[in-house]
Amino acid sequence: MKRRNAFLAAFGFAGRGIWQALRSQRNLRVHVSVGLFVSGLAWLLNFSRLDWAFAIGAMALVLGLELINSAVEAVVDLASPEYHRLAREAKDTAAGAVLIAAMASVAIGLVIYAPRLQHLPDYFMVRWQENPILLIVWCLALSVGYLVLWALVPDRHQSEGGQNRPGGTP
């Protein structure tokens, strides 16, 4: 029984970490916002299972690396509260990993979204004729998601962190 509780508790710890990162990391909220938008667009464009797999994989890679980047920044700020060149390099390198994943996800997106975008009005009308209520709910859900993500979630009292931030003290 104790093992099972520890296993379940691990999910709680992970959830708390994601929640804290959403509250304190603007870039994570940007990536989640883009993910919500492209997921809605993928639904509207009637993606195949394979297209969904690529889109979800790209989003998961970017979000996962953004969480790792946040963890690296927190550990570096804890270990080196004063400016240090190696601390800055660690933070910049972690941010670079997110940038590479984001650029790759844009490339994947161009490959699977671009051919369909010229037919977006047609896809919209098909979805509207199939189930207008579902399309309205989809638009409302996206709107509520953005409201929660940008107005209710951020911790406005959180400091920006230690000295070793990219673009900070040289």
**What pLDDT shows up at residue 163?**
59
Phi/psi of residue 163, each to 5°?
Answer: -70, -30
Is 82 tagged catalytic? no
Q: CATH for 25-152? A: 1.10.287.3610
DSSP 87-128: HHHHHHHHHHHHHHHHHHHHHHHHHHHHHHHTTHHHHHHHHH
Q: Among the options 66, 73, 89, 160, which is catalytic? A: 66
Residue 169 pLDDT greater than 60, yes or no = no
pLDDT digits 0-9 by tens, 77-102: 999 989 999 999 999 999 999 999 99
Residue 159 pLDDT greater than 70, yes or no = no
For the chain, the domains span: 25-152
